[in-house]
Amino acid sequence: MANTAHLVRRQSSRDLNSQRSVDRLELKEMRGRLVPIENGSSGSYGATNIAFEDTSPNSKIKSSCSSKRGSQDGKAIFKPDCAEEERESWDSKLTFLLATVGYAVGLGNVWRFPYLAQKNGGGAFLIPYFIMLAIEGIPIFYLELAIGQRLRKGAIGVWNQVSPFLSGIGISSAVVSFNVALYYNTIIAWCLFYFVQSFQSKLPWAECPNVYFPNGSYIAEPECTISTPTQYFWYRTTLMISPDIDTPEAFNWKIALALVAAWILVYLCMIKGIASSGKVVYVTATFPYLVLIIFFFRGITLKGAFDGLRHLFTPSWHTILDPVVWLEAGTQIFFSLGLAFGGLIAFSSYNPVNNNCYRDAVMVSLTNCFTSMFAGIVVFSIIGFKATMIYEKCLDTRNNTLMELVGQPVSSELVFPTEGTLFNITYDNGTVRRLLMPALPVCDLEEELGKSASGTGLAFIIFTEAINQFPGAQFWSVLFFLMLFTLGIDSQFGTLEGVVTSIVDMKLFPNLPKEILTGVLCLICCLISMSFAHGAGSYVFVLFDNFSGNFPLLIIAFFECVGVSYVYGLKRFADDIEMMTGSRPGLYWLICWKYLSPLAMLSILVASFVEIAVDGSGYSAWVAEKGETVKHPWPIWAILLICTLVLVCVMWIPGAAIGRLFGIVLIDDNEKAWFPASDLKDFHGIMPHEVTTAETLLFCIRADGSEGLCCPTYHSYDDVVEDE
């Protein structure tokens, strides 16, 4: 193992000296998001971003020399000796932060976290949640922002530059992004469908539809009466659902049209860009918060809201000892931050070289987590209202039944016999009657509060049922589904952008304009996503949701930590961060990158496999005759599809390394991005770092720059390439 690590490290060091960047097309990968700064015009953020100097031989570089330190409002501004005048960057720090928050904050924050919190111990769940945030969430978020800002490339270019043996990490991220984009846009299509339906004078899921007979008589739809109107509208009207995944029935043209509209909107967003005008990102990133705030003030004023919040946050301390709770906390942190997709690396590569990526990582990560908590408060205040309304309606039905039986009001404190039992009742005038006890509904507020759901069940069944009881329900429905749409489209944009970037990086179609490439990709995705637009489409969606991203992303994140800690080198990485931010990452972050975060990834991965092996895996199929869902196991062909989805994503990591050993080059990366190391050292006043005793004991970092686990794997510290 030591010899292999030595070979990889030598190859990495050699290529880091000679490589140029992944082709000038890499600089265009997010052109729609970036703005040119021409004729030396300056701004408070983009003007100091000297990130885009293209040092390829066939580029025309316009350079100007200036002092290293300027000033703005009394603060020093970093200006390298030689800088490119024509360059691109985020137009402001706020634009970058909003784009990153919009990418990280998605539908899972609204419909997954509240369910997990109340399911796994309420307030007690926050303890494993924030511990997993500290040891895996923020450290990997920080790592991706820092490595992207330092090497100034997308995911494929970054990991190929760390080591050609690790180039498969970037390809795997791109494949996962493609698979996730396929099914994620289906959610956006569902939101669009509900959004359009919300403009009717009466919400179509407010009550059961009627079934008419030839003689003019009618009855309420039986499938609806044994379930609920919101369940019927979701399963029968929207999904046109089949009994199981093996019997896809009628083609769902309504959802097919919604999918076409969703893909057109995604294409228009990607073609127009966000940061070029600065308008779209300000809407898509901030609108969900505006709606959540509106729903918050509406929710806490509703009857029963505090019962919902009590149910959400009342701690069950014994759950902390349950390993499944820790598994779900770690999984939620990992996926809600959007780690390992490659989007964060691409975003940070367009920041100024002296941007404080540490502060950004902490800020965005905490924003993401507190958004989840705020969304939980909003959701459960409204679920509390819904549960209270159902509970009070149940009590009214129960009291009316007893009043009809007894003939007078009955105290709620009286205890009645079981159903079908004869009993005597004595009235105030001394009369005694013998009665047969009828069936009474069981009214339990806690049981109603516990009937929450996650994912589509929360958004399209539970929440819509609560909205039905609002005055002006149409307005609240429009607002809610517009919020879900903006949450989804923001994340979808960043996910699909990673696929486009990867195709550009790999030079698969070097002469194809980005606009056409994006259009062709969206068209292909739209055609494939029609597999979700039939009776069994929602079951296929669950398959993709459960397996296309989860396991591959955990594996990718594990190898990202390995790549930085054991191949690129912790000392080199810490030196780079010190050059960019002016402060060196503490021992805690180094411990996380080298030990804790990889261990957390492996633990979640192994625990997930064990959970599947013990409990099995399947999907919930709708049974129309019962008005409920029943768990079904995956058929053989679905299991084969699951294995294929996982293998297609992760096989690039070992495949690229093996191919490199045999001289097969998947990524032809011969350029290196510009990075003003000397200027940054002078600007921050950085002196050579002396290896501490703690670093030697914990990471085996030696004075000559070598490091590893009990054996040197890195023999010479390469000076970073500077702008010439």
Band of residue 277 on the pLDDT scale cut at 50, 70, 90:
very low
H-run or E-run covering 654: helix 652-661
Q: Is 224 a member of any domain? A: yes
Q: Is 200 a member of any domain? A: yes
Mean pLDDT of 367-389: 92
Distance of alpha carbon 1 from alpha carbon 8, whole angstroms: 11
pLDDT tops 60 at residue 719: no
271-280, 404-413, 470-479: segment of lowest average pLDDT: 271-280
Backbone angles phi, psi at 426, to 5 degrees: -110, 125
Q: Would you call 704 helix, strand, or coil by DSSP? A: coil
Q: Is 435 a member of any domain? A: no
Residue 490 is labelled as binding a ligand: yes
Mean pLDDT of the chain, nearest integer: 82
Q: How confident is the model at residue 450, as a pLDDT?
A: 79
Q: How far is CA 396 from the centre of its chain?
A: 43
For the record, the structure tokens of 157 come out as 């270019």
* pLDDT tens string 316-372: 898 888 888 888 888 889 888 989 998 899 889 888 899 999 999 999 999 999 999
List the one residue out of 542, 199, 137 whose CA is nearest residue 340. 137
Residue 276 is labelled as binding a ligand: no
The length of the chain in residues reads: 724
**340 with 258: CB under 8 angstroms?**
no
Q: Is 32 a member of any domain? A: yes
Residue 368 is labelled as binding a ligand: yes
Q: Is 320 a member of any domain? A: yes
Q: How confident is the model at residue 549, as a pLDDT?
A: 83
pLDDT tops 90 at residue 573: yes
pLDDT tops 50 at residue 697: yes
pLDDT tops 50 at residue 640: yes
List the one residue out of 718, 705, 686 whose CA is nearest residue 583. 686
Q: How confident is the model at residue 708, as a pLDDT?
A: 59
pLDDT tops 50 at residue 235: yes
- Write the DSSP assignment of 261-280 as a string of letters: HHHHHHHHHHHH-STTTSSH
Q: Is 415 a member of any domain? A: no
Residue 487 is labelled as binding a ligand: yes
Those residues whose C-beta lies under 8 Å from the C-beta of residue 123, and which sit 6 or more positions away, are 313, 314, 315
Percent of residues in the chain assigned helix, strand, coil, to nearest 5: 60, 5, 30
Which residues are paired to 72 by β-bridges?
75
pLDDT tops 70 at residue 38: no
Does residue 414 or residue 709 have the better pLDDT? 414
Model's pTM, two decimal places?
0.84
Band of residue 684 on the pLDDT scale cut at 50, 70, 90:
confident
Q: Which of 58-62, 86-90, 494-498, 560-564 is the most confident on average?
A: 560-564
Residue 104 is labelled as binding a ligand: yes
Name the domain count of the chain. Answer: 1
Q: How confident is the model at residue 83, as a pLDDT?
A: 54
pLDDT tops 80 at residue 614: yes
Q: How confident is the model at residue 579, as a pLDDT?
A: 94
What is the domain extent for residue 536?
Answer: 2-392+450-686
* pLDDT tens string 107-162: 889 888 988 888 888 889 999 999 999 999 999 999 999 999 998 888 888 999 89
Does residue 409 or residue 98 have the better pLDDT? 98
Residue 58 is labelled as binding a ligand: no
pLDDT tops 70 at residue 58: no
Q: Is 716 a member of any domain? A: no
Residue 596 is labelled as binding a ligand: no
Q: How confident is the model at residue 263, as a pLDDT?
A: 94
Those residues whose C-beta lies under 8 Å from the C-beta of residue 631, and which sit 6 or more positions away, are 618, 619, 620, 621
For the record, the structure tokens of 460 come out as 């399209």
Distance of alpha carbon 223 from alpha carbon 556, whole angstroms: 45
Mean pLDDT of 674-701: 88
Mean pLDDT of 407-429: 72
Q: How confident is the model at residue 46, as a pLDDT?
A: 38
Q: Is 711 a member of any domain? A: no
Please provide the distance, in angstroms rounded to a whole number, between the alpha carbons at the two ends of the chain. 38
For the record, the structure tokens of 50 come out as 């000297």
Q: How confident is the model at residue 411, as a pLDDT?
A: 67
pLDDT tops 60 at residue 653: yes
Band of residue 81 on the pLDDT scale cut at 50, 70, 90:
low
H-run or E-run covering 210: strand 210-212
Band of residue 599 on the pLDDT scale cut at 50, 70, 90:
very high
Band of residue 41 on the pLDDT scale cut at 50, 70, 90:
very low
Does residue 339 or residue 64 have the better pLDDT? 339
pLDDT tops 50 at residue 474: yes
Instruction: For the chain, give the percent of residues with pLDDT over 90.
Output: 42
